[in-house]
Amino acid sequence: MAGLGARVWVVPGGRIPFPSSGDEPEFTSFDQLCVLNTGDEPAALEITVYYEDREPVGPYPVRIGARRVRHVRLNDLVDPEAIVLGRRFGCVVRSPVPVVVQFLRQDTRLPGAVGMTGTMAFPTDLP
Protein backbone atom coordinates (compact mmCIF):
# COMPACT_ATOMS: atom_id res chain seq x y z
CA MET A 1 0.00 0.00 0.00
CA ALA A 2 1.27 3.47 -0.83
CA GLY A 3 2.26 5.55 2.16
CA LEU A 4 1.00 8.93 3.31
CA GLY A 5 2.50 12.26 2.35
CA ALA A 6 4.53 13.70 -0.48
CA ARG A 7 7.74 12.95 -2.40
CA VAL A 8 9.54 16.28 -2.11
CA TRP A 9 9.98 18.30 1.07
CA VAL A 10 11.75 21.63 1.60
CA VAL A 11 13.36 23.19 4.71
CA PRO A 12 14.89 26.66 4.18
CA GLY A 13 15.95 27.42 7.76
CA GLY A 14 18.89 25.13 8.50
CA ARG A 15 21.74 26.11 10.83
CA ILE A 16 23.16 23.62 13.31
CA PRO A 17 23.75 25.61 16.51
CA PHE A 18 27.34 25.79 17.68
CA PRO A 19 28.74 25.09 20.22
CA SER A 20 26.89 22.63 22.46
CA SER A 21 26.78 22.28 26.24
CA GLY A 22 25.72 19.37 28.41
CA ASP A 23 26.07 15.63 28.01
CA GLU A 24 26.54 14.11 24.57
CA PRO A 25 24.73 12.98 22.57
CA GLU A 26 21.53 13.82 24.41
CA PHE A 27 22.21 17.54 24.76
CA THR A 28 24.27 18.10 21.63
CA SER A 29 22.93 20.95 19.50
CA PHE A 30 21.37 19.63 16.29
CA ASP A 31 19.19 20.23 13.27
CA GLN A 32 17.12 17.19 12.50
CA LEU A 33 14.83 15.83 9.80
CA CYS A 34 12.21 13.41 11.11
CA VAL A 35 10.88 11.19 8.31
CA LEU A 36 7.92 8.85 8.52
CA ASN A 37 7.39 6.20 5.84
CA THR A 38 3.98 4.65 6.43
CA GLY A 39 4.06 2.70 3.16
CA ASP A 40 4.92 -0.90 2.45
CA GLU A 41 8.10 -0.21 0.46
CA PRO A 42 11.45 0.87 1.87
CA ALA A 43 12.73 4.13 0.43
CA ALA A 44 16.11 5.50 -0.59
CA LEU A 45 15.88 9.23 0.15
CA GLU A 46 18.19 11.86 -1.27
CA ILE A 47 18.95 15.06 0.62
CA THR A 48 20.39 18.08 -1.18
CA VAL A 49 21.92 20.90 0.88
CA TYR A 50 21.81 24.53 -0.34
CA TYR A 51 24.12 27.30 0.86
CA GLU A 52 24.34 31.08 0.76
CA ASP A 53 27.54 31.34 -1.23
CA ARG A 54 28.25 28.12 -3.11
CA GLU A 55 26.58 25.50 -5.28
CA PRO A 56 24.36 22.85 -3.65
CA VAL A 57 25.96 19.72 -2.19
CA GLY A 58 24.55 16.22 -2.48
CA PRO A 59 22.79 13.98 -2.78
CA TYR A 60 23.18 12.63 0.73
CA PRO A 61 21.65 9.14 0.71
CA VAL A 62 19.37 8.12 3.59
CA ARG A 63 17.49 4.82 3.72
CA ILE A 64 14.23 4.29 5.57
CA GLY A 65 12.41 1.00 5.93
CA ALA A 66 8.77 0.25 5.16
CA ARG A 67 6.47 1.28 8.03
CA ARG A 68 9.35 2.96 9.85
CA VAL A 69 10.30 6.37 11.21
CA ARG A 70 13.78 7.78 10.99
CA HIS A 71 15.15 10.87 12.74
CA VAL A 72 18.20 12.12 10.83
CA ARG A 73 20.52 14.46 12.73
CA LEU A 74 22.00 16.59 9.98
CA ASN A 75 25.17 16.78 12.10
CA ASP A 76 25.68 13.11 11.27
CA LEU A 77 25.71 13.43 7.47
CA VAL A 78 29.30 13.14 6.28
CA ASP A 79 29.17 11.85 2.71
CA PRO A 80 29.78 13.67 0.37
CA GLU A 81 30.82 16.16 3.11
CA ALA A 82 29.86 17.29 6.61
CA ILE A 83 27.65 20.34 7.10
CA VAL A 84 29.74 22.97 8.87
CA LEU A 85 28.33 23.80 12.31
CA GLY A 86 26.89 27.31 12.50
CA ARG A 87 26.67 27.71 8.73
CA ARG A 88 23.32 28.74 7.23
CA PHE A 89 21.75 26.26 4.83
CA GLY A 90 18.51 24.91 3.44
CA CYS A 91 17.70 21.42 2.25
CA VAL A 92 15.43 19.40 -0.02
CA VAL A 93 14.44 15.79 0.67
CA ARG A 94 13.39 13.69 -2.32
CA SER A 95 11.77 10.28 -1.88
CA PRO A 96 10.64 7.70 -4.45
CA VAL A 97 7.57 7.04 -2.30
CA PRO A 98 5.35 9.33 -0.24
CA VAL A 99 6.73 10.24 3.19
CA VAL A 100 6.17 13.02 5.74
CA VAL A 101 9.07 15.21 6.96
CA GLN A 102 9.28 17.37 10.08
CA PHE A 103 12.14 19.72 10.98
CA LEU A 104 13.44 20.01 14.56
CA ARG A 105 16.24 22.05 16.13
CA GLN A 106 17.80 21.63 19.55
CA ASP A 107 20.00 24.50 20.72
CA THR A 108 22.23 24.03 23.76
CA ARG A 109 24.69 26.85 23.12
CA LEU A 110 23.91 28.24 26.57
CA PRO A 111 24.63 25.95 29.55
CA GLY A 112 21.53 25.06 31.56
CA ALA A 113 19.04 25.95 28.83
CA VAL A 114 17.57 24.01 25.90
CA GLY A 115 16.08 25.96 23.04
CA MET A 116 13.89 24.04 20.63
CA THR A 117 12.03 24.95 17.50
CA GLY A 118 10.53 23.09 14.60
CA THR A 119 7.93 22.97 11.90
CA MET A 120 6.53 20.59 9.37
CA ALA A 121 8.70 20.76 6.25
CA PHE A 122 7.06 22.18 3.12
CA PRO A 123 5.66 19.56 0.70
CA THR A 124 5.77 20.40 -2.98
CA ASP A 125 4.10 17.51 -4.75
CA LEU A 126 0.87 16.88 -2.88
CA PRO A 127 -1.39 14.45 -4.69
Residues that bind a copy of itself in the complex, under the rule CB under 8 A:
4-5, 8, 10-15, 22, 26-27, 32, 34-36, 38, 50-53, 55-56, 67-71, 88-90, 92, 99-102, 104-105, 107, 109-110, 112-124
Cβ-based neighbours of 113, under 8 Å, separated by 6 or more: none
3-class state of residue 74 by DSSP: helix
Q: Give the shortest CB-78-to-a copy of itself separation in angstroms.
A: 20
Percent helix / strand / coil, the chain, rounded to 5: 0, 55, 45
35: nearest Cα among 105, 106, 95: 95
Q: Give the shortest CB-99-to-a copy of itself separation in angstroms.
A: 8
Q: Give the shortest CB-119-to-a copy of itself separation in angstroms.
A: 5
CA 28, 116, 122, 88 torsion-angle sign: negative
Q: Give the shortest CB-13-to-a copy of itself separation in angstroms.
A: 4
Nearest CB to a copy of itself, comparing residues 97 and 99: 99
Cis? peptide before 19, omega within 30° of 0: yes
Nearest CB to a copy of itself, comparing residues 78 and 116: 116
Nearest CB to a copy of itself, comparing residues 46 and 51: 51
